[in-house]
Amino acid sequence: MKALIIVDVQNDFTPGGALEVEFGDRIIPGINELQSKFDLVLATQDWHPANHKSFASNHEGKQPYEKIKLKMLDQVLWPDHCVQGTKGAEFHPDLNMNKVAAIFRKGMDTEIDSYSGFFDNGRRKSTGLTGYLKEHGVTDAFFCGLAGDICVFFTAKDAIEEGFRSYLIQDLSQPLDHKAYANALEEFEKRRGIVVNSQKIDSFL
Ligand code: VGL
Ligand code: ZN
């Protein structure tokens, strides 16, 4: 059983958004097209309270992209983004959500960030995604979305550790930082993750 997991294709990560990924909207038609090939389609949604500690605005004198320690973990401070209930947190209007069976929200705990759709960055709490996938008999998990070097990468990497065959669809993900993305893909493959192109995905389905 194979599942497609669409990571954080939200307004704030697309052009015009608070934490925009350049060309982040260009992957959406391809993601929509791909969905019909999967029996199970899921999505993750970055979903922060306004007082989230990953926001620079919640630290006196700090600017976005500065680095701090949060609960002993390295934390990049971000512009306010994906605040619960705002337009920026909504899925991009062009993303077809009809086939999406469940949405896994993350980043709700003010004290810790959550790049992966499986766990927070300290691996303290699970979102339940592993249990959901296992209960549905999923063996192979395919990931795409935004941002390629951050939430797509960390989610796909955790999928390997959770015992799934994990595929990262390279052309249907867009990174915030291209150099970080190249490093991330290399690390993903070293850990036996499989980087695929949507045009060649049929041989894996
Ligand atoms: C993300 C930074 C902060 C992502 C989420 O979805 O890649 N990046 N929050
Ligand atoms: Zn976030």
Minimal-distance CA residue to ligand 1 atom 1: 151
Percent of all residues in the chain with a pLDDT value above 70, rounded to a whole number: 100
Give me the torsion for CA of 118, 39, 45, 127, rounded to 10°: -30
Q: Which two tokens stand for residue 115?
A: 């790049």
Q: How confident is the model at residue 107 (pLDDT cuts 50, 70, 90)?
A: very high
On the 0-12 / 13-18 / 19+ scale of CB atoms within 10 A, 156 is buried
135-150 mean pLDDT = 98
Q: Are strands 100-106 and 40-46 parallel, antiparallel or unpaired?
A: parallel
Its pTM stands at 0.98
Transcribe 4-35 into DSSP letters. Answer: EEEE--BGGGSTTSTTPPTTTTTTHHHHHHHG
CA of 204 from ligand 2 middle (Å) equals 31
42 beta partners: 5, 102
**Catalytically active residues, by annotation:** 8, 106, 151
Atom of ligand 1 nearest to the CA of 21: 7
Atom of ligand 1 nearest to the CA of 147: 7
148-173 mean pLDDT = 98
Minimal-distance CA residue to ligand 1 atom 6: 151
Q: How much is the pLDDT for 117?
A: 98
The ligand placed nearest to the CA atom of residue 181 is 1
Give me the torsion for CA of 155, 158, 160, 164, rounded to 10°: -70
Protein residues with CB under 6 Å of any ligand 1 atom: 8, 13, 46, 78, 146-147, 150-151
CA of 108 from ligand 2 middle (Å) equals 9
Domains of the chain: 2-49+92-204 (3.40.50.850)
Q: How confident is the model at residue 194 (pLDDT cuts 50, 70, 90)?
A: very high
